[in-house]
Amino acid sequence: MTDFRLDRLRQWLDRGERLATSESAEVLPYFRGWVGNVEDTLALFPGWRPWARWWRCAPAHVRTIRHLEDGDREGMRQVIRDDLATLGHVYDLLADGAGPPAAEDLAMPACSVFLSYTWGDQELADDVAHKLNWFLFAVWRDSETLRIGDSLTRAIDAGMRGSRHGVLSLTPRFAGRPWPELELAALRALAGAGKGRRIFPVVYGVERPEKILGDTPWIELRAERRRLSSVDIERVVRRISLDLAPD
């Protein structure tokens, strides 16, 4: 009996071959969907979900998404060709029932992000997480990761340790509350431990944020509207993507 998971993966590899050879600009928007579908298919195999997440978060994928609107077909094709070379080996491993290949920092992918926010800023956090996901970052946030019975403290600590970087939504609701400030202190400690970890505070509507952030650089949203637009959020996420996956 054939394995439907292998059949599905073969279908996505064939789709990748077509994307890698197409001259049409219309294929560019399909790149992100292709990466996501390959990740979802790999995650169907027991023990492969962490590797699939690590693969999806490759800086080359983030850079490609960032330049899709520039029409960089050759850049996209080269990334897909590199992916297909890796995924061909992966297909053989899966067909043999083997485990995933070794990968450096598998538990902490290069473009994985812990999103710190206070519950009153859920809407802002939703917008930031959505844009980060669009750029193929892996985002840890409590509202999507915690399950009934989980220890909040242990889960958040594991989320921070399993993420390479931290994005902190600093708003008036955040300032002065003990729990978010504890998360900031923990993120600072992890960033100080090395491995290229970074903190990206996103400041909105807070006067003198340096009182909280000290000498940590921040990105400030200066929107005059009461509600931030998707353009505001995308500007911030592009800034983060440039720092984490430079050209």
pLDDT of 93-107, one tens digit each?
A: 999 999 998 887 787
**Residue range(s) occupied by CATH 3.40.50.10140 in the chain:** 112-244
Write out pLDDT tens, residues 66-81.
Answer: 888 777 888 899 999 9
Contact 112, 138 (CB under 8 A): yes
Contact 237, 131 (CB under 8 A): yes
Contacts of 96 (CB under 8 A, 6+ apart): none
Mean pLDDT of the chain, nearest integer = 83
Contact 92, 6 (CB under 8 A): no
**Which pLDDT band, with edges at 50, 70 and 90, does 148 fall under?**
very low
Contact 131, 230 (CB under 8 A): yes
The one-letter amino acid at 231: V
Between 149 and 208, where is the model more confident? 208
Strand partners, 138: 112
Coil, helix or strand at residue 198: strand
Instruction: Tell me which CATH code domain 112-244 carries.
Output: 3.40.50.10140
